[in-house]
Amino acid sequence: MGKDYIRYDLLAQEALRGVVRKVLATTAQQGLPGDHHFYISIDTQAPGVVISNRLRGEYPDDMTVILQHQFWDLEVDEEGFSVTLSFGGTPERLVIPYTSIKGFFDPSVQFGLEFVASEDPDDETGEDIETEAGDAPRPEEAAEETDAAAAEAAPAANGPADGEAPDGATVVSLDAFRKKG
C-alpha cells in the first residue's frame, strides 16, 4: 500500500472532533435537549488541559467528565471548551482542548466516538490523533470503553466525596446502557 500523504486518518479525526464541537456549542446555547447527556473522556496530560492540582492528583492520566445535571458556564470555541463541574461538592473549572478528548459518548442514543492518540514521533502535523483508514470504532465499541472510563469518574463527577448522592440526583448503573448480546 502507498504512503498516505493526504492523511485521511487525521482528516477524519478532525471532522469527528467537529461533531463534538458542534454538539457542545449547541448545548452551551440551548441546554441539553431531552435525555441527552455526555461522557467525555480526556487525557489529563495533553497540552492545553487546565485542571486543578487536586484533580490532576486524582486523575493523573485520564478522566471522564459527565455533562448532565450539574454543570455550569459551558463555553465552547474552536480549540476546545471550558466548563465548571462539582467534584465532591467543590466547584472546579476545567479547560479541555478537543485534541485531549479520547472519547465522547451520549448514552441516551448509544452514540459514541473514540479518538486515538498518535504514537508516531515524526507526525508532521503536530496533532495527537491517528487511526487506520476504515478503522473508525463502531458506536457500541466506543460505548463499552467510555462506559468503563465513566464508571471510574462518575462518583467524583456526580456526587459528594462521602459517596452520598446530593438531593435530586439519581445514580444509574452503567450496565443499563450496555448492549446485551
Summarised one tens digit per residue, pLDDT across range 69-98 is: 889 999 999 999 999 999 989 999 999 999
Whether 171 maps to a domain, the answer reads no
Whether 146 maps to a domain, the answer reads yes
Domain assignment of residue 60, given as a range: 8-165
Helix, coil or strand: residue 41: strand
Residue 66 has pLDDT above 50, yes or no: yes
Q: Chain-wide mean pLDDT for the chain?
A: 76
Whether 27 maps to a domain, the answer reads yes
pLDDT band at 116 (very low <50, low <70, confident <90, very high): confident
Whether 177 maps to a domain, the answer reads no
Q: Which of 165, 146, 161 is nearest to 64 (CA)?
A: 146
Q: Percent of the chain scored above 70 by pLDDT?
A: 64
Whether 176 maps to a domain, the answer reads no
- CA-based max dimension of the chain: 59
Residue 13 has pLDDT above 70, yes or no: yes
- Number of structural domains (the chain) is 1
Whether 178 maps to a domain, the answer reads no
Residue 22 has pLDDT above 80, yes or no: yes
Residue 24 has pLDDT above 80, yes or no: yes
CATH number of domain containing 141 = 2.30.30.220
CA torsion angle 132 139 143 172 (round to 10): 170
Whether 2 maps to a domain, the answer reads no
Whether 179 maps to a domain, the answer reads no
User: What's the confidence (pLDDT) of residue 121?
Assistant: 38
User: What's the confidence (pLDDT) of residue 53?
Assistant: 95
Report DSSP state, residue 131: -
Residue 63 has pLDDT above 90, yes or no: yes
